[in-house]
Chain A
Amino acid sequence: MTTLTRQDLNFGQVVADILCEFLEVAIHLILYVREVYPSGIFQKRKKYNVPVQMSCHPELNQYIQDTLHCVKPLIEKNDAEKVVVVIMDKEHHPVERFVFEISQPPLLSISSDTLLSHVEQLLRAFILKISVCDAVLNNNPPGCSFTVLVHTRDAATRNMEKVQVIKDFPWIVADEQEVHMQEPRLIPLKTMTSDIVKMQLYVEERTQKT
């Protein structure tokens, strides 16, 4: 089969597209499962041939899409080390953190026909794992909100600040209060390794949530 490398930017974009689509679905699912928003706004839709819950609220969807649109160039260049979905309580202290650690092998290559369906299968497993994660997590206090943090390698964010990818959607350096969590408890959820991406998902939750 064809062997494409990272220099083939088209393929790098394809990987970033796949990951961003997955992250969008994952974020919606996290919001649903952790009850950050009332379940009435969610609707069953299909992704990777399995049912997932996506929100119908236009502003929420737009926010998530804009967020991921800005993250995509970082993933393309393999600058994004972690994408973190932080759930915060009313005082904006983090209560839970869903960490997606992403790493891409330096020499991406597709060497098999079934690569993408294999990746689809792995992503499906992630989705399933998120759906059942409330078995291992304590309940969140009411009135939570969420935010998305990106940990980048080196100084990629400097470039981001210079160039606003989306107008009026600036990214700022997160302050200590939002990043630091007291007494975190780490719960690994899922790991996947494939030819095009390696991803790990774990949850850090605060031992005392209320």
Chain B
Amino acid sequence: MDELYLDNIDEFVNDHDKIVTYKWLSLTLGVHVNTAKQMLFHYLDHKRKESSAQLHATYLVSGKFVANGQTSHKVSVVREEQLEDVKAKMSLIVSVHVYSVQKALLKDSGPLYSVDYDAVKDNLKNCSKYSAIRCPTAVPMSSLELQQAREMHRAPSPEPENKKPAMNGNGNLASKPPTKPAKGIMGMFANKSTPKNQDSGREMKSEQKEDAPVVDAPKSKPATKANPMMNFFGSQPAKKPEKTVKEEEAAQSSSTAAEKQRQSPQAEQKRGAAAAEPQKNAKKDSRSKNKRIEDSDSEEEKMEKKKRRRIKLPEPDSSDEDVIPDSPPQMETREASPSPKKEAEAVTHSYQGNSDGKIRKRRQVLKSHTFVDEEGCIVTEKGYESESYSETEDDFQPTKQAPRDPFKAKLPSSSKDEEKKSQKKSSANANKGTKQASIMGFFQKK
């Protein structure tokens, strides 16, 4: 490939002071993501040899990770200094590639997300044009299907309020518990005007603004082993959502990509997705989403490597609400020690069943308390608190959030809810405490 791209990247990084992520580069230059990754790698190499300006890079590392005897697939964006460290901790490295190149040393991962936000938003309909993940059955819903999805989602939500006994009205609900989680997902998707897919291959296409480094095959560095991948699929792939702001909606995309890698170590071919599909069909209703990207920046070190993780086991009736209680690791003045994932696991699967078919669950929500301790210091403690919620939670939400202090942090968990029910302005009083309403809120005030 010709060398013009080196000059292009040079211009972006040095003259414009941009953060160049592989995804942004691929959308800007119109090349496949793997080409973009290679470009970045070569550029970095080139510049390092010249030893000119100071450049920083972040890498995406993805692989198997064993913690407390449980294996999970972990995907993280790490700084260059931490790369070897993180690689050493993984039991199996599936992919390592350059995520971004920039001049500034980033203190946190926020800007990485912002960089891709606009680029992806502009290319929303074809943001996967250059991506390596394919799913032939994932097509955007037609508007008719969208309508139906919305109606189906709204129909069960008035039901629990009435508290009817399990009768005809709710017989339908009771008979389809497995579809409820699916509706939850669809409900989330239906509220956004982006291409949806309901299929098992919930691919990158569905995300509307999340860049997220998807696990792709490694570039020139071979880092895969063929045989262990079979074991990976033989056992239950336990997903571990890392808590970061970057949340991805591609279900099992990592395992999908890993499957592809097993079949085609070359960077080019990614058509192995089709073979992986039948396996994924079995897990269609199970939770899904997400694989989160762990952010190994200084936040993590401050928490003394105490990462809060939850292992997701594929269960037919497990819901995807687990996504919501996850919170990114917070910067803390004094960390309240939350009990680790076990408690969270137990909590999310505990049901307070009602006879009328409504499912209420308790979940752990990260809440912060600011108070003055005995020495007169202001202390902010963040800890998990149990909060009761139900699947159709927008009506219950306001009552839970009202007692919060006004300057408590607006939790990412609740902001995700807000996003989820963005069309339903009934959660308006949940917005009361903070001013996080989007700029469009100005128009509604009239």
Contacts and interface: CB of A to CB of B under 8 A. Distances in A.
Given A131-B106, A132-B17, A56 B114 contact: no
B104 A132 contact: yes
B439 A18 contact: yes
Interface in B116-132: 117-118
A42 to B, nearest CB: 5
A57 interface: yes
A85 B43 CA distance: 37
A135 B17 CA distance: 8
Contact of B19 (A43, A119, A132): A132
Contacts of A18: 439, 442
Interface stretch (A98-106, A121-129, A165-173, A201-209): A121-129
A14 B331 contact: no
A17 B445 CA distance: 12
Contact of B331 (A40, A47, A131): A40
Contact of A48 (B19, B109, B328, B438): B438
A132 B103 contact: yes
> By DSSP majority rule, is chain B's interface helix, strand, loop, or mixed?
loop
Given A49-B117, A124-B118, A136 B17 contact: yes
Specify which of A17, A43, A123, A129 lies most central, judged by the most chain B CB atoms within 10 Å of its CB.
A43
B370 A56 contact: yes
Nearest to A130: B111
Interface in A72-105: none
Interface in A28-86: 32-33, 39-54, 56-59, 61
A49 B409 contact: no
A15 B409 CA distance: 25
A10 to B, nearest CB: 8
Nearest to A29: B110
Contact of A41 (B106, B107, B331, B415): B331
A59 B380 CA distance: 13
A29 to B, nearest CB: 9
The 10 closest A-B pairs by CB, nearest first: A135-B104, A51-B110, A135-B103, A50-B114, A131-B111, A132-B104, A51-B245, A120-B439, A128-B114, A14-B442
Contacts of A53: 108, 110
Nearest to B408: A56
A179 interface: no
A51 B107 contact: no
A121 B436 contact: no
Contacts, number: 115
A179 B110 CA distance: 32
A44 B327 CA distance: 10
Contacts of B298: 39
Given A131-B106, A135-B105, 14 more contacts: A40-B332, A42-B331, A43-B331, A46-B412, A47-B436, A49-B117, A50-B110, A51-B245, A56-B380, A58-B370, A116-B439, A132-B18, A134-B104, A135-B102
Contacts of B333: 40-41, 56
Nearest to A42: B331
Interface string B10-23: 00000001110000
Given A53-B110, A120-B438, A128 B378 contact: no
Interface of A: 10, 14, 17-18, 21, 32-33, 39-54, 56-59, 61, 116-117, 119-121, 123-125, 127-129, 131-136
A56 B379 CA distance: 10
Contacts of A21: 435
A76 B109 CA distance: 35
Classify chain B: how many residues form its interface, as a range: 35 or more
Contact of B117 (A54, A124, A131, A135): A124
A203 to B, nearest CB: 12
B330 interface: yes
A79 to B, nearest CB: 22
Interface string B230-252: 00000000000000010000000
B114 A33 contact: no
Nearest to B416: A46
Contacts of B332: 40
A41 B409 CA distance: 12
B58 to A, nearest CB: 13
Nearest to B441: A116
Nearest to B436: A46
B108 A44 contact: yes
A172 to B, nearest CB: 27
18 contacts: A10-B446, A18-B439, A43-B368, A44-B245, A46-B410, A46-B436, A49-B438, A50-B113, A56-B333, A56-B368, A56-B407, A59-B378, A116-B443, A117-B439, A132-B18, A133-B104, A135-B103, A135-B104
Contacts of B442: 14, 17-18, 116
Interface in B304-350: 328, 330-333
B107 A33 contact: yes
Contacts of A135: 17, 102-105
A119 B439 contact: yes
B105 A56 contact: no
A26 B282 CA distance: 47
Nearest to A10: B446
Interface in B285-307: 298, 302
Interface in B363-379: 368, 370, 378
B104 A52 contact: no
B229 interface: no
A128 B119 CA distance: 13
B94 to A, nearest CB: 26
A49 B209 contact: yes
